Amino acid sequence: MAEEKLIVIGCDDNTTMFSILNRIKDTNFFVPNVISVTRTSDLMTIARSMNPDLLIMCFRNNQNALSDFNIFVKKPEIPILCLTRKFESEILGVTQTNIVFAYPLEHLANNEYFNSTVNSIFLMRSKPLPKVEEPHFTVPVARNAPPENHRNLSRYALELDQKVEVLLKIKNRISNLYPNVDDPTKAELTSIVNSIKMAAHDHKLWEDFKVYFEQTNPYFLSQLAKKYPSLTAIDLKYCCYLVMNMSNDDIKSLLGINQESVRTHKYRLKKKMSLPKDQDLKGFLRSVG
């Protein structure tokens, strides 16, 4: 009897995603249990919370996805199959601990070739490798975090913001359609709008961001909140963005405020922390931890 395999697919192109799903569905080598996502952040979340037998990546930038995997997931025992565009496999950088295979995207239509490749990966992994222990640091300091970590974290924060922005745009479009439909459809639209509201203001978005942030800046948030208990969730977000060296424009977009409000928020933070007006807030926050 064929063995069940959990496969997580990350692909930002709907047509390609459909083709991958069809290839996997037609296999006779194993019983596929497939989870598909379109965003790298969702792929990382699933890979962290589950132990898939295989990750399949097909993003416009597979290198960024691999970098995120190494920073945020840290499960080198999970094999990764990258569907690569022409010449991408020649420049794809991987670490010595990753198990990464490249498959040319132009051959995706070859069903037998694709499924044989996937099955070969499973056969090679039939004897599990020992799990690599993560290093433990006794004195983590936020300012020593590599710049690459901050860049990946910034990209994740902006992706979360874009997700909320798209959800709110969809909500507004539905609101415009609402007066022109019948009652059953109105009920469905109301249900969808309520779901969007919950997703757009989902506390889990902030919790996910905190998990990623604290991997790069351990203990920063807990020590800051302990030292200044009057800081709100918005205050803590603002402090995170400053530590990440984000510009006022980035912070304005993420917090949904204007430029003047960004400056006012900085002033209020200094006041809550009893800092002098001329104190460099960013430098002070980087010393916390």
Instruction: Write down the domain spans for the chain.
Output: 4-124, 146-286
Closest by CA position to 209, among listed 229, 230, 234: 234
Q: Taking the CB of residue 117, how many other CB atoms lie within 10 A of it? A: 16
The answer to whether 244 touches 256, Cβ cutoff 8 Å, is no
CA distances from 31 to 28, 35, 115, 119 (A): 8, 13, 12, 11
**Cα gap 8→78, rounded to integer Å:** 11
Whether 101 contacts 82, CB under 8 Å? yes
Supply angle C-alpha 251, 220, 210, rounded to 5.
Answer: 60
Query: Percent of the chain scored above 70 by pLDDT?
Result: 74
Is residue 243 within 8 A of residue 220, CB to CB? The reply is: yes
88: left (phi over 0), alpha (psi -120 to 50) or beta: alpha
> Are 39 and 159 a contacting pair, CB within 8 Å?
yes
Reply yes or no on whether the pLDDT at 176 is more than 60: yes
| Of 6-20, 133-147, 165-179, highest mean pLDDT | 6-20
CA-wise closest residue to 142 among 153, 134, 133, 132: 153
Burial 200-229, CB ≥16 within 10 A → b, else e: beeeebbebbeebbbebbbebbeebeeebe
pTM of the model: 0.46
Pairwise CA distance, residues 154 & 134, whole Å: 23
Assigned CATH for 4-124: 3.40.50.2300
Enumerate the H helices of the chain as residue ranges. Answer: 14-25, 40-49, 62-68, 88-91, 111-124, 147-177, 183-200, 203-216, 220-227, 233-243, 248-255, 259-272, 281-286
What is the average per-residue pLDDT within 190-203? 65
Give yes or no for residue 138 having a pLDDT over 70.
no
**Could you read off the pLDDT of 61-113 as tens digits, one per residue?**
888 888 888 888 888 889 999 998 876 655 566 566 778 888 989 899 998 89
Kindly report, residue by residue over 146-170, the tens digit of the pLDDT.
455 555 555 556 566 666 666 677 7
The confidence score (pLDDT) of residue 232 equals 87
